[in-house]
Structure 1
Amino acid sequence: MMPTRGSAPEGSKSISSSVRRRMSGWVYKAECVTHKMSTASTTRASEYDKIVILKNPNSVRTNLWYLKPGFTAKPTFVSVTVPGVFESSNVEHEAYPHEITDVRGHEKLFSLDKSGFEFLQDAVPDEMIQHIRNSRDEEIENKYYPRVEELLKTHTGADRVFIFDHTVRKRIPEHAGDGRGLVGTMQPALRVHVDQAPSAGTGRVKRHLPDEAEKLLRGRVQIINVWRPLVGPIEDHPLAVADYRSVKPEDLVVTDLVYPGHTGETYSVLYNPEHRWYYKSRQQNDEVIMIKCFDSKTDRARVTPHTAIRDPTSPKNPRLRESIEIRALVFHTQERD
């Protein structure tokens, strides 16, 4: 059942020496490295601190896979699996049963700035969905990217949006459940994580827009993931999101994510029974989730732990999940802390 590979630090032994050199320093003795962000305003309690309590909610109970405590090395994932080359991680997870509340009918109680996520209606043509399902990157970038840019601008009030990547996920039961797959395939990630750590947030601006980075970083910068089903209604491995206001700073652990050409930082998450988790039952193709991955503004929700879940109410032979997520830098150049 454990959707991980390897252990720390012995897990590095199955990686070739040349690859290990490129990943130099990924296994080292370290104390638990957690984020330094406050999960509430440092000056006063506000509307952004109030956790939503639903009356008589519909919910499911299922296992969530959190980072296993007791590690002695900085947690590290490699981004793809290449047999004999990239196939190890020093990360171990363990399962904790948790209640996941269905937001259907209560979507407007949640927002990017309060909970860290938001559910929106946004229909797209079926032809576009099929292009995405066929992983036609040129069609995705030329036709879907502009649509998502406009959605982000309209909904957040941003004056600029820069999309830096996308991931199409298709569940293949025989592949690992940690989000990785063979080259060219990505699975739903059955582990609680956050897409970006703060260093990666500012680093993305410098990496993708180097000539403008200094100016852009003077204003408010966000990274937002726009997640959409491609075979709705979702019957298999829906996406669950945690309310930022229920997450403590010490729950988040900085984790390396190693790509062939560079290393970024994300967050792994330690279990806390106070976490409040939500999903949208039978989510359709025109129902998107905006997930905040980073925000330079410090008195709002700043990150959103999330994970795919095994839904105990799924039919016996569900249609296997397919989805797309767009990650974008979102700039509010006139907004200052």
Structure 2
Amino acid sequence: MTVAVLAPRDVPTTLNYYVPDPETDESPRIYIQDPPAGKKKDNLGREPHDVVVRDARGKEKEYDLSLDTSGFQFVKHVSQEKNFEDEERIKDAYYKELEELLKKETGAKRVLVFDHTLRRTEPDFVSPTGKLIRGAADFVHIDQTYDAAVERVHRHLGDEAERILKGRVRIINVWRPIRNPVAHRPLTVSDWRTVDKEHDLVPVRFVHPDQRPNAGIYAAHYNPNHKWYYLSDQTPDEVTLIKCYDSEVDRARFTPHTAFLDKTSPKDAPHRESIEARCLVFDTE
């Protein structure tokens, strides 16, 4: 189901792409917890590039946007959760909603929601209770490398993994605004068909305290051919499905994504709040 048709609003902006860190010759990496003394949290250089983010509202068919063609899809979905303040309710009721949504939209037989991220402020800060409250992610990335995706199946399914991996496996993120339509820092997603798979991707290793050898993401080099899309004034009843991995090689396998600065947003509009849930999607029971 596509969302309602409104007047399109394309946005000129800048996106942060990967460049090597001139201060180190280490391979790209991110420490998941506090880095060792003298080390930075990550060694990813960021270089801003001018782009135009196209408004996909009402033009999904014209642009041929879907999970299997472009790597993302905009879907109408009303959740019973509104404020997303109770972690247990999120993991129980909301996760169940997403399982049913993804089965409906993809035809999958089994869905496992394995985590979620809440973003409520600009920039990151630590609350008085010590909890990290994240701001919007401001660099172009893909949440899983191919190897990390396979490792994640093993981590969550254990003895079932080898059998499940013989069928189609996807990782799909479900991104939703909270409380208000998105302003200031919307999400933008790039069309898989415009990505140079041989040259654009940069594997970034996660340094975990429990030594996960394949954990990591992809950053991306700038490519002027990339086409970027968003859904203007996206509401809490509209979600973006973001493909981060697909074991099938004859269709879209991922979509780069990032937050971007929308200077056309009303200055008094509330800052963005969002929840992004990450889901393993299986064609095998």
SS in 1 for 2:147: helix
In the alignment, which residue of structure 2 is the partner of 1:150?
Answer: 100
Are residue 233 (structure 1) and residue 187 (structure 2) matched? no
Aligned partners of 2:122 and 2:136 also within 8 Å? no
SS state at 1:67 partner: strand
How many angstroms apart in 1 are the aligned matches of 2:252 and 2:188? 17
TM-score (norm 2): 0.88
Tell me the equivalent position of 1:112: 67
> Post-superposition shift, 1:317?
3.0
Task: Please give the alpha-carbon distance, in whole angstroms, between the structure 2 residues aligned to 1:81 and 1:314.
Answer: 35
Alpha-carbon distance, 1:78 to partner: 2.5
Shift of 1:86: 8.3
Aligned with residue 161 of structure 1, among 108, 111, 114 = 111
Q: Output the CA distance in 2 between the equivalents of 1:85 and 1:169.
A: 28
* Counterpart residue identity of residue 203, structure 1: E
Within 5 A, what are the aligned runs for 1:1-337?
A: 58-69=9-20, 72-79=25-32, 88-108=41-61, 109-125=64-80, 128-130=81-83, 132=84, 134=85, 136-173=86-123, 183-249=131-197, 250-263=199-212, 264-333=215-284
SS at match of 2:158: coil
Shift of 1:236: 2.0
Once residues 183 and 259 of structure 1 are traced to their aligned partners in structure 2, the CA distance between those partners, rounded to angstroms, is 19
How far 1:173 moved relative to its partner?
A: 3.9
Give the drift of 1:83.
11
In structure 2, the CA distance between the partners of 1:193 and 1:174, relative to structure 1 (3 Å rule), is closer
Residues 114 and 207 (structure 1), Cα distance of their counterparts in 2 relative to 1, 3 Å cut = same
Asked if structure 1 preserves the Cα contact closer than 8 Å seen for 2:200 and 2:222, the reply is: yes
Bigger strand share: 2
Q: 1:113 to 1:62 in 2, by over 3 A?
A: same
Greater Cα offset, 313-322 or 297-306: 313-322
Instruction: Give the CA deviation at 1:116.
Output: 0.1
Task: Note the aligned Cα RMSD (angstroms).
Answer: 2.3
**Overall identity of the aligned pairs, in %:** 45
1:166 partner SS: strand
User: Is contact 2:56–2:231 with CA below 8 Å preserved after alignment?
Assistant: yes
**Higher CA-based Rg:** 1
TM score, norm. by length of structure 1 = 0.75
For these two proteins, the number of residue pairs brought into alignment is 269
Report deviation, 1:257: 2.3
1:238 maps to a residue whose letter is: P
- d(CA) in 2 for partners of 1:157 and 1:174? 37
- Equivalent residue of 1:210, what SS? helix
1:68: how far off?
1.2
- C-alpha distance 186-79 of structure 1, shift in aligned 2 (>3 A): farther
**CA shift for structure 1 position 318:** 2.8
Checking the alignment, whether the CA contact within 8 Å between 2:112 and 2:280 is kept in structure 1 is yes
Q: Do the aligned partners of 1:103 and 1:280 also contact (CA within 8 Å) in 2?
A: yes
Partner deviation per Cα, 1:138-181 (whole Å, 9 max, x = no partner): 110111000000000111000111111111111234759xxxxx
Contact 2:124 2:133 in 1 (8 A): no
Match of 2:3 in 1: none
List per-residue Cα deviations over 1:275-300 (Å, max 9, x = no partner): 00001111000000000000000000
Between 323-332 and 253-262, report the one with greater CA deviation: 253-262
CA 1:184–1:262: 2 relative to 1, 3 Å:
farther
